[in-house]
Structure 1
């Protein structure tokens, strides 16, 4: 087994506070030590929060990020801090969801990435946002995200 090169990381193993905003958050990456192997990496953030830009009220989502790496992997602590930086950030559901996907793509240049953002209702309407870099790649098992659509009390 190859040891992952962590020499360039600034947050892992250090006391890193929550960034004040997604723009200030530093996403970090490590080399993909299994280059040539095709597989899906999944991150699940079931307690994601942001703020409504109009009311300042909290919004909650279950975020699922799937990607097929090329040369890089996202470092999970930096991802956790990046996602946490939305806690005091005001943006619409669609903006938060797509921004997360685009930042990761900018960092990693993965073969493929999709984000499923399953937002809990506010004002009686759930908003789910799905974004991907393209069609699912062939020849690789990509599991369903497994988050049921909101059904309310019906």
Structure 2
């Protein structure tokens, strides 16, 4: 079966950034990604979440299409809720190096359990 162009774009997707147009001004950027999916590493069942990223940029800001492709790359990954939030944070910090960032992974209830994982990072100055 032929790989579709969207699947290829997702597989190749990497976080990219561009220069902050207002370096030195503290401002928040709030991003919501409501269609996150991954797979439970124990059962293989799909997990669905809304990912919230709030950050204060320093020198770089994240490019949104690249972020979308990066997030969509999780859809076939076997990963826990806890590791999901932490991995997104680590990757975001590595590329964007913000002054502050909070990643909140709000997972849809499954089996009568609702879980939210929130992780944060502050740049040492």
TM bucket (normalised to shorter chain) is: 0.7 to 0.9
Distance 1:48 1:131 in 2: 17
Q: Does 1:63 align with 2:55?
A: no
Q: Which has the higher strand share?
A: 2
Q: CA deviation at 1:26?
A: 1.2
Match of 2:10 in 1: 18
The count of aligned residue pairs is: 116
Q: Which has the higher contact order (CA 8 A, sep 6+)?
A: 2
Q: CA deviation at 1:58?
A: 0.6
DSSP-derived class of the 1:120 partner: strand
Which residue of 100, 106, 115 maps to 2:94?
A: 106
Q: CA deviation at 1:25?
A: 3.8
Which residue of 83, 103, 113 maps to 2:71?
A: 83
DSSP-derived class of the 2:113 partner: coil
Q: Which has the higher helix share?
A: 2
DSSP-derived class of the 2:48 partner: strand
- Kindly report structure 1 stretches of 4+ aligned residues shifted beyond 3 Å: none
Deviation by residue 1:21-54 (Cα, 9 ceiling, x = unmatched) = xxx6411010112111110011101111111112
Q: CA deviation at 1:124?
A: 1.8
Over the aligned positions, Cα root-mean-square deviation in angstroms equals: 1.4
Deviation by residue 1:111-130 (Cα, 9 ceiling, x = unmatched) = 00001111112222111101
In the superposition, the TM-score normalised over structure 1's length comes to 0.71
In the superposition, the TM-score normalised over structure 2's length comes to 0.87
Match of 2:34 in 1: 46
Gaps of at least 5 residues in structure 1 are: 1-14, 135-154
Rg comparison, structure with higher value:
1
